[in-house]
Structure 1
Amino acid sequence: MRFFIELIYNGKNFHGWQIQKKVKTVEGTIEYCLSKLLKKPINIIGAGRTDAGVHAKQMFAHFDYENQIHSDFLYKLNIFLPNSIRVNNIFQVKNYVHARFDAISRTYKYFFTYKKNPFYHDVCLHYFYSLDHKKMNKASKILMDYKDFSFFCKKNSSNKNNICHIYQSYWSFKKNIFYFTIEANRFLRSMVRFIIGSLLDVGRKKIDIDEFIKIMQFKKINYDYSKSIVPPYGLFLTKILYPEDIFYEEKIEE
């Protein structure tokens, strides 16, 4: 039988989602705990791969197990997991459903604050430059006109193609807090952080809208985008959508 887990995590102390040798990852931590509790090796496959330091307010992963999982298992699992990870529910899905390939869309948000706040330090970027909000939102809408995001992909990426379909892209500004929202069918490695860096350059008037369009068209070859990537700790994976008919039974929740 195939099961989905829905979880949240603070990525500060993890080297990203994907399991790696000799470093702590979210995937590796969950696999270890599941394997110990279920008394057999468990491999999980996530809906995506967040970078080191990136957080998730909603993430899904699937694993296979031959027996039913009862409601008290979720309670035991969360006791065993570190405080930086919580599994919100577990539910059975059809055997062919895949956490990564069957996802319809993913949404990320990146949070900023104009006012320095020690309690936001690990989850929100303190940004002290003045910004042109209208130009930033105008540039963000332009993203939806393009499909090839090779320019915003980390070099030496193993992607077979760099085509992504962006469904929404916008900035929200509320007093001292502002954030960027982007939804797409898929994202490339570090793509969101590169895009945000360039949009901030538009807001700071380091580049104008026409230059941003040239960047999107790979014509602005002298633009040093490597300096425009934002750090990971303000980035959250916030929502993943799936078809409504993927599961058999009610979710197991605490």
Structure 2
Amino acid sequence: MRYFIEVAYKGTQFGGFQIQDTAHTVQAEIDRAISLLMREKVETTGSSRTDAGVHALQNFLHFDIAQPLHPQFIYKVNAILSRDIVLKQVYAVSDEAHSRFDALNRAYKYTLYTQKDPFMQDRGYFYPYSLDFDLLQEAAGILKTYENFMTFSKRNTQVRTYNCNIMESAWTIEDGHIVYRVRANRFLRGMVRGMVGTMLRVGRGKLTIEGFRKAIEMRDCTYADFAVPPQGLFLMQVVYPSGLLDKAIF
């Protein structure tokens, strides 16, 4: 039987989402908790691979298991997981359903705060500099007119294509914070932070709109600025086809 699980996590203490040999990761802890409860080795597949220090309000994984799930599966798994991860829901799905490949789109947000705030230091990027909001918004809109985002992909990324369909891209003011929201069918490694860092250069007058377009068209990551910290980035939502998640079992 195949199951999808919905999780959320605070990424501060983790070396990323995906299992690694040399780092403590979100997926490794989830696999360990489920395996411990079910008393057999369980390996999950994740929908979206967030980097070290990046948070998620919603992410999904799937796994296969023959035996019935424990009747208190969510409660028991959450009791094993660290306080920085929560299992929110479990869905029974078809054996062909795939948490990564069946996702229609994903949404992220990146938060800047402009005044010192100890409660935001691990949930945003302290950025006490003047920004031209109109230029930020113009740059965000330009991103929707392109398909190839090789410029905003970190090196040594093994992908078949650098094409992404950006459906939403806009800066907003939310609760006094400057927030960038973006939605696309897929994202490249480091893509959101690369876009944010480069747009901030536009907003500060260090890069013109024409220069921003040129950076995208060069398809060279040396034209992007990835130097924004991970803690401002949240994976907000993963969207699946209608009906795929209809069967919540707990």
Q: How does the TM-score come out when normalised to structure 2? A: 0.96
Shift, 1:176, TM fit? 3.1
Residues 1:98 and 1:132: Cα distance change in structure 2 (over 3 Å): same
Counterpart of 2:243? Answer: 245
The alignment's C-alpha RMSD in Å is 1.6
1:131-187 Cα deviation digits (max 9, x unpaired): 111111111011011111001100111112111110000000246311100000000
The amino acid that maps onto 2:224 is Y
Shift, 1:224, TM fit? 4.8
Q: Is the 8 A contact 1:3 1:90 kept in 2?
A: yes
Tell me, in whole angstroms, the C-alpha distance in 2 between the residues paired with 1:100 and 1:152. Answer: 21
Instruction: Confirm whether residue 176 of structure 1 aligns to residue 176 of structure 2.
Output: yes
Residues 1:135 and 1:218: Cα distance change in structure 2 (over 3 Å): same
Counterpart of 1:43? Answer: 43
Tell me, in whole angstroms, the C-alpha distance in 2 between the residues paired with 1:223 and 1:18. Answer: 26
Instruction: Confirm whether residue 74 of structure 1 aligns to residue 74 of structure 2.
Output: yes
Q: Once superposed, which parts of structure 1, at least 4 consecutive aligned residues long, lie more than 2 Å away?
A: 67-71, 221-226, 247-251
Tell me, in whole angstroms, the C-alpha distance in 2 between the residues paired with 1:222 and 1:13. Answer: 28
Unmatched tracts of structure 2, length 5 or more: none
Q: Is the 8 A contact 2:215 2:223 kept in 1?
A: no
Q: How does the TM-score come out when normalised to structure 1? A: 0.94
Instruction: Confirm whether residue 54 of structure 1 aligns to residue 47 of structure 2.
Output: no
Unmatched tracts of structure 1, length 5 or more: none
The amino acid that maps onto 1:17 is F
Aligned residues: 250
Counterpart of 2:21? Answer: 21
Residues 1:2 and 1:222: Cα distance change in structure 2 (over 3 Å): closer
Q: Is the 8 A contact 2:110 2:181 kept in 1?
A: yes
1:38-57 Cα deviation digits (max 9, x unpaired): 11110100001100110000
Tell me, in whole angstroms, the C-alpha distance in 2 between the residues paired with 1:121 and 1:146. Answer: 33
1:84-233 matches, within 5 Å, as 84-174=84-174, 176-218=176-218, 224-226=223-225, 228-233=226-231
Counterpart of 1:236? Answer: 234
